[in-house]
Structure 1
Amino acid sequence: MTTKDQIAHDLAMAYINNRYGADVKGEFSVTTWEKDVSGSGQVETERLPDVNQIRKVRVGTGERHLFGLREKTTWVASGFEVDIVFAKMIEDYYDARERFLALLESR
């Protein structure tokens, strides 16, 4: 017998997979005439960044330019691109798991 905790875990994982899966956008059109099929369109697939992709942010250098009106900036490493997404995924997992457990308990 599967425990309610295992069911809640599996459902939370399905939720996370659906929420953070590949994002596909675009349009496609197909026409057929008897046995001939033709089509055209454009489809874009957006995925999460690579796990090791460095996140870069612009920070001020303290040096001024344009008659002292603007501060020069430079790019510096600030963790990884996926850190914010992974933190949100973890939070969403636990929230979804707790919600599923509550629903299973009330059943």
Structure 2
Amino acid sequence: SSLLDSAVPPTAIFCATDRMAMGAYDAIKERGLRIGDDISVVGFDNQEVIANYLRPSLTTVALPFRQMGETGVALLAKLAANRNLAPLQHIVQCPLVERTSVRLPVPAS
């Protein structure tokens, strides 16, 4: 909340989780700011119940939990079958789920 009270407040906030974004929404609204107009908010993990409950609805980055779990189990099975398996890096796509909490900032006049 001290970030919102700074002399030059941010035009956007990126929250580590959608649940944290709920708290940011409260702090922003307490200051009379409008989410999506005065300040943009983005969450991370696409908790749809939260993201769709918030007004305006929360733009967020989706974590593919199912894909991550399936990949982890498959890699563990490979490791169990071959203990000499070389270290692996597996990258999963985390798409942006665009809703209404983000807009381009209005240039200062």
With the length of structure 2 as denominator, give the TM-score of the two structures: 0.26
From the CA coordinates, give the structure whose radius of gyration is larger. Answer: 1
Higher strand share: 1
With the length of structure 1 as denominator, give the TM-score of the two structures: 0.26
